[in-house]
Amino acid sequence: MKSSSPSWIKLFILQCLAVVCVAQDFDFFYFVQQWPGSYCDTKQSCCYPTTGKPAADFGIHGLWPNYKDGSYPSNCDPDSPFDQSKISDLSSSMQRNWPSLACPSSNGFTFWGHEWDKHGTCSESVLDQHDYFSSALGLKTQLNLLQALKTAGIQPNGQFYSLSSIKGAIKAGTGYTPYIECNVDVSGNSQLYQIYMCVDNSGTNLIECPVFPHGRCGSSIEFPSF
């Protein structure tokens, strides 16, 4: 018996299903924090937020859905744009813990909007816009990276430390293996830039990373002051 459904309707349904699958399917999150001293100590430099110089602590960069094969979804839902009114109760905490250091100086909303549009929309099956940012703030509180490093004698004082000692300090302090991303200062030295930790797809629980990003640091890296 011949189907009464026009072929274009079938095609439309299949396309919709494909979009939903791509938008909501991911395996884990990278929770990424950056050291402001390393962000600023580059040729492009930085601009402090309109609220003033951030604290000398790691700041959130993002909470990024990822696949176990190393790829990741992005910009999954153009119909769910960033709406700052949905996070009005979080904004003061975000300005402290998720500051933008990009130029020109800003209040952070453009940075947060970019993170939601590119990454947050790909985890909407688990976290709505408020929960996405709230989860990241909760993870920041749970992971005191600077204290873990200081406990191991690793201070943001412009000295050089072995990459293995930095990884070991973070694992000792958190229970999980980090990925360390470096950048290069104005003198060409490799420096501690970002620390990646992995989180299950609820956005709540730390896990061992199924896969690490590509990249390389020197065996000895600088931890600049801020």
What DSSP string describes 50-78? TT-SPPSS-EEEEEEEE-TTS-------T
The model's pTM is 0.89
61 is catalytic: yes
Catalytic hit among 61, 124, 181, 222:
61
Based on the residue annotation, tell me whether 119 is a catalytic residue of this protein. Answer: yes
* pLDDT at residue 20 greater than cutoff 50: no
Give the pLDDT confidence of 37-91 residue by residue, as tens digits.
Answer: 999 999 999 999 999 999 999 999 999 999 999 999 999 999 999 999 999 999 9
The helix-helix angle for 109-118 and 129-142 (nearest 10°) equals 110
Instruction: List the Cα angle 128/125/175 in 5-degree steps.
Output: 85
User: Nearest 5°: phi and psi at 138?
Assistant: -65, -40
- Per-residue pLDDT at 1 exceeds 60: no
Give alpha helix (H) positions in the chain. Answer: 7-24, 36-40, 91-97, 109-118, 129-142, 145-151, 163-174
Point out the catalytic residue in the list 119, 124, 181, 222: 119
43-52: pLDDT as tens digits:
999 999 999 9
pLDDT of 22 > 70? The answer is no
pLDDT exceeds cutoff 60 at 155: yes
Cα 144–chain centre separation: 15
Please tell me which residue in 114, 115, 181, 208 is annotated as part of the active site.
Answer: 115
Q: Look up 181 and say whether it is catalytic.
A: no
